[in-house]
Amino acid sequence: MRRPPRLTPRVTLLALLTCATACGSAPPHTTAHAAEEAAPEISWRSWDRATFEEAQANNKLLLVSVQAAWCHWCHVMNHETYGDPEVRRMIAERFVAIKVDSDARPDLAERYRNYAWPATALLTPEAEALITLRGYRAPGAFRDLLARAVQRVDSGDTSEPVAETGSEEDTTTMAEVADIARRTLDAEYDAEAHGWGAPQKYPYEAPVMAAFLRGVVTGDEAHRTRALMTLRGYAQLLDDVDGGMFQYSLRDRWDAPHFEKITAIQAGALLNFAYAYRLTGDATFRDHAESVLRYMQTMRVADGGFFTSQDADVNEDVTGEAYYAMNATQRRATGTPRIDRQVYANLNGKMIVGLVELAIAEPASRAGELAITAARYLEDHLRRGEGFAHFADAPDDALFHLDDQAQMARAEMALFEFTGEAAWLARARRTADFVLANLMHDDGGFYAHTRDENAVGVFARRRRPIVGNGYAALALLRIARVSPESRYRAEALRALQAIASEENLAREGRKIGPYLWAVEEAVAPFVVLHVVGPDDESTNALHSAALQVNHPQRTVELSRPQSSRYPYPGRSAVYMCSDRACSRPIFAPFELSEAAFEFLSTEGR
């Protein structure tokens, strides 16, 4: 994304006054002032049927601005571009303008995420796509784009809308799917700086987990090394003072951070660093994970849930670059960047998964306690019947989003493994059943959200997002391993196959990480460690040892003798099972790790 010089209101006013004097322009109180008075402030409308009907009735184009509260370039565009008198005049005359918070509307965030924030959509009065813009646009360029959109509508030149994501055919085998997805993501790997994609470097968690899985399962040291080297790059984005990870790095290296802190990034970092520590024993990775944990303990509701994000800048005078160069004392004296205190289901689900991984890797940490508390908070405040609302105050008729359900099902499964409590499995199945009943496409895969009866035009055509389907498949595959029903695995595979065209995956580029991660889990052998025994020290020791098996394809199930599907041989035991075979019972905790890897090696042949 092209990045203009940072402009504050003070700098902008100075530039205007300087130009008025040096360039012979009119003084501020004549022509320029009159133009500003003639241009009304933009009347940002709400996202509802009445707004769309108004646009169509008055033959006005639609302008949809998808932003984020933490997004610096959204702030710049709001001040510079939407503050421009001519832009405001053009919008008032020919457009109905809608502003959307991307964190509050994951369906629109998914639809426009490849355009980065701010994303701007210019649409016909019937809400069909005309022009979609990625990132900041300066006032002059934006005026030209508005004029071009108006000219297209007035001339009747409204070409076909952008094609929806998702193949209608389900003919690709899983081996072919894996090959396509691997080639797509491998092409994005930066062997010099490490990580996936350029020019900006994003700390995505899913490509790292897919690389770990591929390396451990196949024994390919190159992929294991690729994951570890990438995490060393990610670590350069950590805040040494307050902890936590910055959103991404500018240009094509890891040491030029963009200073927002996003909860989704923290969740992925926890998962990556905690698993790397468990896999390697390198305490540096544990320290990185604990840095994130320290920060996230300041980003939570007192009784559980985690907040959404923290801005980069304290205010217009204290930028992120200046603030994050300060020591702790200087920061406390200056103030803190604004925190978005909304609690969203999808972000909290991801955070819980990361916390559980750290709790397993470092049992002495608070991570397990925080994961359980957050999950209970979400169950109490966001559960709506069988599914999860996006946030606590969502109206009764709000959409249900795939990402909320997928991330919460993953979280509930992680807690089932970690605690051994069957109630978490019951909740995970309940959430998964909601997805199967309400979000499934007839040809396979899952819609991004439930049907929106108020949507019109392009927004009425629901999509099957590759990233969301990847996370949904991950949840279903894990649930399937400990459930007698075959439908969870069957629908996970069908989802992965339904959207597996090379064109679809290539369009997503480096963002297909969750999809490839799910594909790798689908095609690789897995082992379920079924722990059977009474609630005593011996059973707890076996359960802890099962959790410490550091293979990414292991799942742990704890059950009591009276309710277990496996025989209780008179003392606590572990049965190792795949989808086609089970081992003899194992009684000694120290035998579990080697036995599990040997079992998986046999299953892979």
Q: What is the pLDDT of residues 331-368, one digit of tens each?
A: 999 999 999 999 999 999 999 999 999 999 999 999 99
Q: How confident is the model at residue 115 (pLDDT cuts 50, 70, 90)?
A: low
Q: Are strands 527-532 and 387-388 parallel, antiparallel or unpaired?
A: unpaired
Q: What is the pLDDT of residues 513-537, one digit of tens each?
A: 999 999 999 999 999 999 999 999 9
Asked if 551 and 594 sit in the same domain, the reply is: yes
Which of 475, 504, 524 marks a domain boundary? Answer: 524
pLDDT at 29: 39
- CB count within 10 Å of CB 27 equals 11
Of 465, 536, 477, 476, the closest CA to residue 505 belongs to 465
Which H or E run contains 413?
helix 402-419
Instruction: Read off the pLDDT of each residue in 187-203 and give the average, rounded to a whole number.
Output: 92
Q: Is residue 287 part of a domain?
A: yes
Asked if 572 and 459 sit in the same domain, the reply is: no
Residue recorded with tokens 């020791």: 541
Instruction: Count structural domains, the chain.
Output: 3
Which of 524, 557, 586 marks a domain boundary? Answer: 524
Query: In whole angstroms, what is the distance from residue 116 CA to residue 434 CA?
Result: 30
Domain extent, residue 28, equals 9-155
pLDDT at 8: 38
Instruction: Read off the pLDDT of each residue in 178-199 and give the average, rounded to a whole number.
Output: 92
Instruction: Tell me the whole-structure pTM to 2 decimals.
Output: 0.81
Query: In whole angstroms, what is the distance from residue 355 CA to residue 352 CA?
Result: 5
Query: In whole angstroms, what is the distance from residue 390 CA to residue 578 CA?
Result: 35
Instruction: Read off the pLDDT of each residue in 137-146 and give the average, rounded to a whole number.
Output: 90
Q: For residue 478, is pLDDT > 70?
A: yes
- CATH number of the domain that 34 lies in? 3.40.30.10
CA 503 to each of CA 36, 343, 469, 516: distance values in angstroms, whole numbers, following the listed order? 47, 35, 16, 15
| DSSP classification of residue 248 | E
Q: Is residue 234 part of a domain?
A: yes
Q: Is residue 325 part of a domain?
A: no
pLDDT at 31: 45
Q: What is the pLDDT of residues 297-340, one digit of tens each?
A: 999 999 899 999 999 999 989 999 999 999 999 999 999 999 99
pLDDT at 579: 78
Q: How confident is the model at residue 251 (pLDDT cuts 50, 70, 90)?
A: confident
Where does residue 281 rank: exposed (0-12), middle (13-18), buried (19+ CB within 10 A)? exposed
Q: How confident is the model at residue 172 (pLDDT cuts 50, 70, 90)?
A: low
CB 350 within 8 A of CB 407: yes
Q: What is the pLDDT of residues 436-447, one digit of tens each?
A: 999 999 999 999
Asked if 387 and 287 sit in the same domain, the reply is: yes
Which SS3 state, helix, strand or coil, does residue 254 take?
coil
Residue recorded with tokens 């991404």: 248
Task: Provide CB contacts within 8 A for 361, sequence distance 6+.
Answer: 274, 275, 277, 278, 286, 289
CB 340 within 8 A of CB 387: no
Share of the chain above pLDDT 90, in %: 69
Average pLDDT, the chain: 88
Asked if 280 and 404 sit in the same domain, the reply is: yes
Q: For residue 499, is pLDDT > 90?
A: no
- Which bin fits 281, alpha (ψ -120 to 50), beta or left (φ > 0)? left
Q: For residue 1, is pLDDT > 80?
A: no
Instruction: Read off the pLDDT of each residue in 545-565 and give the average, rounded to a whole number.
Output: 94
pLDDT at 361: 96
Instruction: Read off the pLDDT of each residue in 204-212 and give the average, rounded to a whole number.
Output: 96
Which of 524, 546, 566 marks a domain boundary? Answer: 524
Q: Is residue 92 part of a domain?
A: yes
Asked if 178 and 197 sit in the same domain, the reply is: yes
Asked if 189 and 271 sit in the same domain, the reply is: yes
pLDDT at 38: 62
Name the least confident of 31-35, 267-271, 512-516, 560-564.
31-35
Q: Is residue 168 part of a domain?
A: no
Instruction: Read off the pLDDT of each residue in 547-569 and give the average, rounded to a whole number.
Output: 93
Asked if 500 and 466 sit in the same domain, the reply is: yes
- CATH number of the domain that 272 lies in? 1.50.10.10
Asked if 382 and 258 sit in the same domain, the reply is: yes
Where does residue 568 rank: exposed (0-12), middle (13-18), buried (19+ CB within 10 A)? middle
Q: For residue 39, is pLDDT > 80?
A: no
pLDDT at 420: 96
Between 246 and 508, the higher pLDDT residue: 246
Q: Is residue 165 part of a domain?
A: no
Q: What is the pLDDT of residues 376-433, one digit of tens each?
A: 999 999 999 999 999 999 998 899 999 999 999 999 999 999 999 999 999 999 999 9
pLDDT at 37: 53
